[in-house]
Homo-oligomer: A and B are copies of this chain.
Amino acid sequence: MSNEVALELKEVTKKYKKTNVISKMDLQIKNGEFLVLLGPSGCGKSTTLRMIAGLEKPSSGQILIDGQDAEKISSMERNLAMVFQDYALYPNMTVYQNLEYALKVHKVKKEERQQRLAKILETLNLTEYQDRLPGELSGGQKQRVALGRGMAKQSKIFLLDEPLSNIDVQLREKARDEIQTLHEENQQTIVYVTHDQLEAMALGDRIAIINDGKIQMIDTPDNIYNHPANLFVAQFVGTPQINILEVDVQTTQLVYAEYPVLTNSARLAKLSVPSGQLYLGIRPEHVVVKCKQESASELPAQVEAVIDYGRYQQLTLKLEEKQVLKAIITNNNFKIGDIVYASLAEDKILLFDHKGKNNLES
């Protein structure tokens, strides 16, 4: 069992000047797993990665690498490679020298070095650039060199700190596919930091969503999107953001303003929330927009904005009292100013308690 876990954080806390950047974080990463740390800037995800890399020391708690206490081994002995956000290529060395440098210092034999690097350069389509300096490369090429430098070490754990954030949007999709292919081929354990939820969804076996130095939820992309543990996760994942309405609990139904938006009393009974208010979350694609009111649960609204993204259209609907509801539709028949009726797909509705903001059904 224990050798299945590549990396483990036990109650890790990191303080800077008495404020907790990371608070008692527990985390297990399995051998060969692709784990994404996702969160807004300043949430502590980079600090977590840096502690794993040994670039920062936890204020308290333990980091275990392959079952060994990381504090007792140096950055090098942790047997890991890291790709930095700015790539951190040595500007005074060619692409080949960049890949070779660590191996050379650690006295890997010349023949083996050449073999290993030739294969990596080939895989990453860098062979023809091997004699260039980093300054002569494009962003995408630099990113591949940084990946290659990490691969050259053949370490068990691969840490990536927002590796795609400095390359052109158009190239990101390709670069992302490449990272995925590499992971499938080498089956390294990968810890990947990003603030981009689409990147996280596309890459991660599991995603750990971090906010305020705490893991808010750690699960598969599917569960994170469909069954978010709390309001933060629900709002952080998905663009446009999930719609949040404040609703009143009544015995057999949930009511927004005077509209009964949830009437499934069996579901409500399970909640064991006697009365008061809840947060209701509904993703824009589960808001159905109609021209005519067909049931009492549909909310009258005015179309405030229509954005055509080509594949789908996004409507901004204005309910009463400045409440805004966004909807994603695929056949647009609406114009700004239209009066419409929005119905919320009942089975897609998420419910969060008003105080703790946790998902009441997960």
The residues of A with any CB-CB pair to B shorter than 8 Å are 40-41, 168-170, 173, 177, 180, 195-198, 201-202, 221-222, 225-226, 235-241, 283, 285, 305, 307-311, 314, 316, 328
Are B222 and A173 within 8 A (Cβ)? no
Return 14 A-B CB contacts under 8 Å, by A number.
A40-B168, A40-B169, A168-B195, A170-B236, A170-B241, A180-B305, A221-B308, A221-B310, A225-B309, A225-B310, A237-B310, A238-B311, A283-B311, A285-B311
Give bound CA distance, A103 to B173, whole Å.
46
A222 engages B310 (CB within 8 Å): yes
Q: Report whether over half of chain A's contact residues are helix, strand or loop; otherwise say mixed.
A: mixed
Minimum Cβ distance to chain B for residue A296 (Å): 28
In the complex, besides A40-B169, A180-B305, 12 extra interface pairs with C-beta distance below 8 angstroms are: A169-B197, A170-B241, A173-B240, A173-B241, A201-B308, A201-B310, A202-B307, A225-B309, A237-B310, A238-B310, A285-B311, A311-B328
CA distance A177 to B314 in the complex (A): 12
How far is A168 from B41 in the complex, measured between Cα atoms in Å?
7
Q: Report how many copies the assembly holds.
A: 2
The one of B237, B239, B283, B307 that contacts A201, using a Cβ cutoff of 8 Å? B307
CA gap between A325 and B222 in the complex, in Å: 23
- 6 A-B pairs with the lowest CB-CB distances in the bound complex, closest first: A225-B310, A202-B307, A285-B311, A222-B308, A201-B309, A40-B168
How far is it, in angstroms, between the C-alpha of A168 and the C-alpha of B38 when the chains are bound? 13
Measured between C-beta atoms, what is the minimum distance from A36 to chain B in Å?
A: 13
A305 proximity list for chain B (CB < 8 A): 177, 180
**Residues in chain B near residue A222, CB distance under 8 A:** 308, 310
**A316→B177 CA distance, assembly (Å):** 10
A128 CB → nearest B CB, Å: 19
Residues of chain B lying within 8 A (CB to CB) of residue A173: 239-241
**Shortest distance from the beta carbon of A335 to any chain B beta carbon, whole Å:** 14
Least CB separation from A167: chain B residue = B41
The smallest beta-carbon distance between A243 and chain B, in angstroms, is: 12
Q: Is the CB of B168 within 8 A of A309?
A: no
Chain B nearest CB from A318 CB (Å) reads 12
Most buried by B among A195, A201, A240, A307: A307
Asked if residues B308 and A225 are in contact (CB atoms below 8 Å), the reply is yes
Determine if B226 and A310 form an interchain contact, defined as CB atoms under 8 angstroms apart. Answer: yes
Determine the chain B residues whose CB is within 8 A of the CB of A239 once the complex forms.
Answer: 173
Which of A169, A198, A310 counts the most B-chain CB atoms under 10 A from its CB? A310
How many angstroms between the C-alpha atoms of A224 and B227 in the bound complex? Answer: 36
The contact of A170 among B40, B198, B310, by CB within 8 Å, is B40
Residues of B contacting A316 in the complex (Cβ-Cβ under 8 angstroms): 177
